[in-house]
A and B are shown apart, each in its own frame.
Chain A
Amino acid sequence: MYQYNDFDQAFVRERVAEFRDQVERRIAGSLTEAEFLPLRLRNGLYLQLHAYMFRIAIPYGTLNSRKMRQLAMIADRWDKGYGHFTTRQNIQFNWPKLRDVPDILDALADVEMHANQTSGNCIRNVTADHFAGAAADEIEDPRATAELLRQWSTDHPEFLYLPRKFKIGITGAPNDRAATKTHDIGLRMVRSSDGLPGYEVSVGGGLGRTPIIGKVVREYLPKADLIPYLEAILQVYNLAGRRDNKFKARLKILVNETGLDEIRQQIEARFAEKRAEWPPINPGLLAEIEAAFTPPVFEPAAPVAPVLSAGLRSFIDTNVAEHKQPHYAIVTVSLKPIGGTPGDATSHQMRVLADIAEELGHDDLRISHEQNVVFPHVPRRHLPEIYDRLKAAGLATANIGLVSDIIACPGMDYCSLATARSIPVAQEIAETFADIDRQRDIGPLKIKISGCINACGHHHVGHIGILGLDRAGVENYQITLGGDATETAVVGDKTGPGFAYDEVVPAVERLIGAYLDMRTEPGETFLETFRRVGMGPFKAALYEEVRSDAA
């Protein structure tokens, strides 16, 4: 885990003091509400439906027990006893008061955390693979790069007033678990022909109302060139990105309107200049960052008792992934209990997670962009105990990657921009497919739900995507099929006319029924079947009932 040095520590403290001063200047009238807006957004403070919403960064999704316990303390002391983990490895609190926020920021600084640039038109919290450092398929732990980028982008004087928000995602493995192609800049670690690690760089990805999969602008970028190359991309964007229309201001629109080849030329030209004048990154600083991500000291292999309990077996089958050490495992804890709000955790659950990590998992915790919590380093012999402790806290739902492991944005329940409910739709789908054997028979299936076209629920890249709209005052849900957020990223296709609120869950049931009928064997996943047979048969199944009703 990266530990704050004196510089980091002084920086976050000064940042809190500065924000206190900004709040006071706002109250005194020196700053207008409009001028205060970007300042509070850069400190994670949004105005939501009911109140302020406060978003805290969990850089590259990594935290330890001490940080998790502090989040629990914040939930109890300043909020309603729970927090919401988001699709960008942040945690949000929905009920803080403006005057408390500087105190919350101080409490965060106590445990080396902050809310810097979790919102606003600046470079946001850099996200990374939640299995980083543990996955068997990894080239390098991407978090060293992510931490370097955190430092580079924090308070970057040139890039705090960009045309629009700017997101960077990074994965250290060929299997893209960080959805990097849906980011303004996506970095995927690859090796050069002579085996040196570097990055494949994509630009212009993003969901929202114009979903676009990032395009590769550089097949291979040596590690040492990363910062000047990103400086070049950001400078081109800051100068040329559209500022006349908020909905056309993201990098993806600039890339599309300019053309990939032209934008590549502009970036490369700027990069050539930048590279010539950028001094190398301080090697001492790089070494300090790299050292922070050396793997823990793994315990020696030990015999593991056979698993007898059916509940534990089912949990292991769905929620446990291969670790690079064969006698270790990666455990994903689902924050999607049947009927719950996806991504929510109570302060009690946070403390249980912190205790387990500290006692049984090398004190390492991760937040995934799928809104779940991960213990990346667990000796297999501890699995039964972990399962029991999770179960007692209502955290043992065995549904990772299955139909009820749904990503849903806050929607109408919390969000002022929402045009429809999303959490209740997720809850009803989960309840419909509550039977875990049925879920496992259906197999890997990603359902993603957004409550408006801003697409915070990433519905475009769901195998089944659901978008809640408002049609003349009535909720109407549009369905897309075949989306994918991994290294084979693609935006899903619309099926056709949308469905009323009470028709959505039956529609999803018909789609899943059609898949079960059409799959060649149980091992063929929903996405594979869709790719094989195409939209036609799914569309037929989806609208069949509607048509026969009309007939």
Chain B
Amino acid sequence: MSVIVTEAGFAADSWTHEFLPFDVFWSGQDLPEEGLAVEFPNDREPADLLPWLDRVELIRVAFPAYTDGRGFSIGRRLRELGYTGRLRAVGPLIADQFRMARRVGFDELEIPDTMAARQPEAQWKLREQGSYLRRLTA
């Protein structure tokens, strides 16, 4: 089981639709009319989703390890490509990475229960920290 982390704190997963594999767009399968959600393995190219970006409602980007930062680039790039739906990072991320995830464009994290137990809700509250990157172009 897992826990969803947003700026509001911990919650159970409210998403009720199925997560389709990344390759669903190329498999000839019919896409659902609503609740289109896809898995995003972190070795795939974000631009491949371009034709469907406005139909997708949730993208679930994999972070196989907290040290594997590819997902941060994928999230940022999906936003740069114009994706406006829900963006979720899933994996054993640590509380200190929530700020990075939010700043590259993720809405929420999905962390294992064990992580939520070891790092309780209060630790995920974002600290007030200025952003040099934002300030550069402000």
Contacts and interface: CB of A to CB of B under 8 A. Distances in A.
A502 interface: no
Interface of chain A: mostly helix, strand, loop or mixed? helix
A437 interface: no
Nearest to A153: B132
Nearest to B82: A277
Contacts of A156: 132-133
A470 B66 CA distance: 34
B129 A11 contact: yes
A161 B75 CA distance: 14
Interface residues of B, number: 36
A158 B104 contact: yes
Contact of B67 (A30, A38, A155, A273): A38
A86 B134 CA distance: 32
A160 B76 CA distance: 13
Contact of B136 (A10, A151, A158, A274): A151
A282 B133 contact: no
Given A157-B103, A158-B104, A235-B73, A35 B137 contact: no
Give the interface residue-count category, chain A.
Answer: 35 or more
Nearest to A243: B68
Contacts of A31: 94, 119
A152 interface: yes
Contact of A238 (B67, B70, B119, B136): B70
Nearest to A32: B118
A7 B135 contact: yes
A282 B135 contact: yes
B55 interface: no
B59 interface: no
A227 interface: yes
Contacts of A238: 69-70, 72-73
Contact of B130 (A14, A39, A160, A277): A14
- Of A14, A161, A238, A277, most buried by chain B (CB within 10 Å of CB) is A161
Contacts of A7: 130, 135
Contact of A281 (B73, B129, B136): B136
A18 interface: yes
A455 to B, nearest CB: 24
Interface in B76-125: 76-77, 80, 94-97, 99-104, 118-120, 123
5 contacts: A14-B129, A154-B132, A157-B131, A158-B73, A282-B138
Interface of B: 66-70, 72-74, 76-77, 80, 94-97, 99-104, 118-120, 123, 127-133, 135-138
